[in-house]
Chain A
């Protein structure tokens, strides 16, 4: 079955520092990839998506992610984080043997931005 691995459960970082949140997926066939953010006590908000085309995807709030097919990765990056970026970030995939209708989520990475 399709799976998503987010190796880092928590990433502490200082304000204005760069950050990378890692995501690896299991499928070797065509997939769609997504990053969602969940602020405390809120639902999920779509940050960005990769469906096809350019492997570098830009999203909202200054985030970007790079699709790397050979490494089956879709890491999320931001060059300079703000306190307000403190949240839970989920990587998700659709496609592969679970089909494109269903989303499979990783376990999430908590980004903690401190002054």
Chain B
């Protein structure tokens, strides 16, 4: 498995501001993923972050809104920019390990007022 931590665990933010979420893994991984889980909904993949290259975004998500950094093989950040109430969600990072399993962090619960 993998030990994944996220900071902050939750936050309440004002409309128009930005929040950066950190994801730390206990060992080196090639691929990290960022998901969004809107209230009462399933998980939707935002982007895939590989170290040393730009993140690959899924349809409906753009870099200006969700910039991602991947400075090394154990860390990544996701920024939610110019927030609106519609951005209120749980944001989760995950990593892919041998056996094609993905392990998830505890999530960051974001509320935008």
A and B are partners in one complex rather than unrelated chains: yes
What residues make up the interface of A, taking CB atoms closer than 8 Å to B? 32, 34, 36, 41-46, 49, 51, 90, 94, 100-108
How many residue pairs link A and B with beta carbons under 8 A? The number is 50
In the assembled complex, how far is the CB of residue B93 from the closest CB belonging to chain A, in whole angstroms? 9
Partner of B101, one of A46, A102, A106: A46
Check A34–B101 contact: CB distance below 8 A. Answer: yes
Check A51–B104 contact: CB distance below 8 A. Answer: no
Q: Is B92 an interface residue (CB 8 A)?
A: yes
In the assembled complex, how far is the CB of residue B96 from the closest CB belonging to chain A, in whole angstroms? 7
Check B43–A43 contact: CB distance below 8 A. Answer: no
Q: Which label, helix, strand, loop or mixed, suits the secondary structure of the B interface?
A: strand
Please give me the 10 A-B residue pairs with the lowest Cβ-Cβ distance, nearest first.
Answer: A44-B104, A43-B106, A105-B42, A105-B43, A43-B104, A107-B42, A43-B107, A108-B42, A32-B100, A103-B102
- The closest CB in chain A to the CB of B107 belongs to A43
Offer 18 A-B interface pairs, CB within 8 angstroms, sorted by A.
Answer: A36-B104, A41-B109, A42-B107, A43-B4, A43-B92, A43-B104, A43-B105, A44-B104, A45-B104, A46-B1, A46-B102, A51-B100, A100-B100, A101-B48, A103-B33, A103-B45, A105-B43, A107-B42
Interface size on B, residues (CB 8 A): 23
What residues make up the interface of B, taking CB atoms closer than 8 Å to A? 1, 4, 31, 33, 41-45, 48, 92, 94, 96, 99-107, 109
